[in-house]
Amino acid sequence: MERDLYGREAIFGDDGLAARLTGLTPHGSRRVTCEHGVDPPVAVLTGGRGMGKTAVLKQLRSLYREITPVALVDCEAVTPPADPGPGWTPVTGVLPELATQLTARVHAARPVQFPRLSLGLVAVASVSWRREDESRAQRDLQSLGPVLATLDTRADTATGWVTKVLTKLAAGAFDSMAPMAGMVAEATVETVLEETFSRFQRRSADWYGTYPHAGGNGRIGLRQLAVDFERGGDLRRRAEDHLVLALVEDLMRAYRGMARGARRGRPVLLLDNAHTPLGRQLVEPLLRRRAGGVRDQIAVFASSRIHDHAGLSHAVRRRLPEVAHASHWVRGTEVTSGILAVGLTPLDAAHVRSALDRHDPHGRTPAGLARGVHRLTGGRPLGVALLAQAAGESPDPGGLVPGALLERTVELREDRPPVRVADELLERLLPGQRPDVLSVLAAAHGEDSARLLATTRLRGESLDGDVALRVRDALRSEDWPVGPEHFVADPLLRSLLLHRLRFQDDDPPYYAVWRAVHETLRSAYAAGGSCPSEPHRLHQELVLGAAEDCVTHLRVQFARPDVLSWLDALRFIASAPCPRPPGSTGPDPRRAVALGRAAASDEQRDALAGLDERAAELQLQLRRLLHAVWLLSDPLALPDEEVIDKMAHELRQLSGRHPTGHAVLWDAATHWPRDLRDWRTLSMPPGAPVPTRAGQPGPGGGGPDA
């Protein structure tokens, strides 16, 4: 079944990348001219978790599986069977799976056969066989049953081979100096050729005559292949590479000779998580073969979670929109120049709107929710899909904000119970990681504060804080950004982890774990702490709900000449997270304060005590401004036009009060509302270009740990 994939037209269009590499349009399967003739590149889709790489590969399989041979494997999910035997490796385990998928019947063409691959797999499987252990041989051959069935569909084929092979071993007079693996392989190959291969298929063995030290003799080549496989190390790698090329050769034989013209387009190999060692072992022999001038015309689409690794060292790099009509790929002199690395781009706001409309066809959700989801997720397709589904399934969607969607549950499959959106996102964005550890470190602003939290709040994990460095390396290995402003620099991932930190102990209104983590940071940033910084301390005060200290600081510092630093401090302090309690309804409490409609608390009255009229007025004005910026900067909330107008008004009023910085404050009153209405981070200085999300720093503020 085809899926709704947004923003991927450059791949799936009738003249998109898939059509130009396969020779067939994805929809309607019309023939098209292949862009690169007989020498296509290996297309590697790059992007972090949740960027839709797997979804694209599955869609390609769905679209092409009935018209051309297609195989899809996840190179990260290949696991050994219960009793693998010495002949099993990830490569020998995945090749039969690829061959089996490629043999599936397609329109107007006979199934592909794999005689060369079958011979090679049987030869290496035989390295563990002994005359006295017939059951081992039977198990190994039975595990190869699907690929052997491409040549002989009789049910008792494997059992018959085992008996005859072991009979030959018992009756033969072998050179005692010859490796046992080679002798068994030779006896096995001879038996297979005699019992199963037709007269024409037997010539397939000759292909192994090109194996090192074979001297053109295919049977010797197969024997040497088995010997090299058993020896391990680089010799095993050489044998495995030859097996990969055996699959390629068998696949291309189906497109030559009498079959020419009977098949449409090109066969398609889809390799998910090809940045893994197994993925590279499958791709690199093909790249070397093509670099040497041997053409195969197989359309290969792979995915890589790691944008930059050695396997892509000389790849031609393009962003997804750049390959919509032509890839402009040219082979260079290096082997890896045979790769076209296509960076998957985030969805734009229109794509998010389309996703939300699909789940909410009657438009019940707030008008700005799609833009809010886009801001929170950064256009990451996984986040967009889950939040859009949660919005569509909400029983009362009228007052939804992005933060509320994290608490919703969605049904992803009929055979599993509904899942909470925040939990599902964390599980899929950070599989195998420790969310309890990561959620604590997500509160850190940089590496120093992350180590501080590790030594104080995660002592069971690491006494010296090294857990922070291990987490940093783990994030980087998954291509997650780690920055100086935020230890977990991806905004969506940080929001999810902080959401978990806030609510994991389920003890409102105190939230003990959340409070303990942020009190630790507040103490560290205080004067006399391990990394003193007043903006960072006040940021933590606001996280803990103590807004009046922040307001007082902004009032005391307001008249200083450096108004840009003052604005930057305001922006940084107001970037404090403020997770919305699960199930809460109605307007955000910060809104009433920003609009001057909230009743004064005891803390606020105490802050005004002793101030003259002008200072008290400034205190009230800055309280409204702080809460406005806090609410409007929150990715879990939605911008509010009335609050935006109020923020602009307060900034203009402040412009008239500042002795020297009136122009800067007036510019902020002009440009910050524009930033918010365009769903951008508040610019500094006001009106400056705002970096794109991929390289966007967090709000400033300075300090030793920033």
* DSSP letters for 268-333: EEEEETTTSHHHHHHHHHHHHHHHTT-----EEEEEES-SS-GGGTT-EEEEGGGGSS-------S
The pLDDT of residue 284 is 97
Q: State in Å, rounded, how far the first CA of the chain is from the last one.
A: 48
User: Are 516 and 508 within 8 A, CB to CB?
Assistant: no
Q: Does residue 167 sit in helix, strand or coil?
A: helix
- CA 643/CA 627 separation, integer angstroms: 9
User: Are 554 and 630 within 8 A, CB to CB?
Assistant: no
* Max avg pLDDT among 66-70, 108-112, 202-206: 66-70
pLDDT tens digits, one per residue of 328-339 = 999 999 999 999
CA distances from 14 to 10, 18, 44, 172, 636 (A): 9, 8, 20, 61, 38
User: Are 135 and 167 within 8 A, CB to CB?
Assistant: no
Give me the phi and psi of 362, to 5 degrees please. -95, 5
User: Are 13 and 324 within 8 A, CB to CB?
Assistant: yes
Q: Which of 13, 25, 16, 246 lies closest to 124 in space, CA to CA?
A: 246
Is 691 or 104 the better-scoring residue by pLDDT?
104
- CA 570/CA 168 separation, integer angstroms: 85
Type of residue found at 290:
R
Per-residue tokens: 7: 């923003």
Q: What is the pTM of this model?
A: 0.90
For the ranges 35-39, 52-56, 364-368, 464-468, the lowest mean pLDDT is seen at 464-468
| DSSP state string for 458-526 | -TTT-SSSHHHHHHHHHHHHTT----SS-SS--HHHHHHHHHHHHHTT--TTT-HHHHHHHHHHHHHHS
pLDDT tens digits, one per residue of 180-214 = 555 667 767 776 666 556 555 667 888 999 999 99
- Helix (H) / strand (E) containing 142: helix 134-143
CB atoms within 10 A of CB 645: 13
* Max avg pLDDT among 262-266, 364-368, 646-650: 646-650
The pLDDT of residue 132 is 59
- CA 313/CA 638 separation, integer angstroms: 42
By CB neighbour count within 10 A (0-12 exposed, 13-18 middle, 19+ buried), where does 26 fall? buried
For the ranges 106-110, 269-273, 422-426, the lowest mean pLDDT is seen at 106-110
Counting residues of the chain whose pLDDT is more than 70, the rounded percentage is 88
Q: Is the peptide bond preceding residue 535 cis, with omega within 30 degrees of 0?
A: no
Per-residue tokens: 616: 């008290």
Average pLDDT, integer, range 267-293: 97
Average pLDDT, integer, range 58-67: 95
The pLDDT of residue 703 is 38
- DSSP-assigned beta bridge partners for residue 300: 269
User: Are 376 and 491 within 8 A, CB to CB?
Assistant: yes
- Give the contacts of 679 (CB within 8 A, at least 6 positions apart): 349, 371, 374, 375, 639
- Kindly indicate the confidence band of residue 463, based on its pLDDT and cuts at 50, 70 and 90: low
Strand 409-410 and strand 419-420: pairing? antiparallel
Average pLDDT, integer, range 254-282: 85
Token match 């009229």: residue? 613
pLDDT tens digits, one per residue of 652-702 = 999 999 989 899 999 999 999 999 999 999 999 999 987 654 433 333 333
- Estimate the share of the chain in helix, then strand, then coil, as percent rounded to the nearest 5: 55, 5, 40
Strands (E), 601-701: none
For the ranges 20-34, 392-406, 682-696, the lowest mean pLDDT is seen at 682-696
Sign of CA dihedral 415, 419, 423, 424: positive
Strand 70-74 and strand 268-272: pairing? parallel
Cα 413 from chain centroid? Answer: 21
| DSSP 8-state code for residue 340 | E
Secondary structure string (H, E, C) spanning 542-562: HHCCCHHHHHHHHHHHCCCCC
Per-residue tokens: 254: 């189906």
The mean pLDDT of the chain is 88
Q: Which of 238, 14, 249, 219 lies closest to 123 in space, CA to CA?
A: 219
Is 600 or 635 the better-scoring residue by pLDDT?
635
Q: Which of 100, 8, 103 lies closest to 58 in space, CA to CA?
A: 8
User: Are 266 and 254 within 8 A, CB to CB?
Assistant: no
CA distances from 475 to 53, 270, 462, 468 (A): 19, 26, 18, 11
User: Are 127 and 87 within 8 A, CB to CB?
Assistant: yes
Average pLDDT, integer, range 48-59: 96
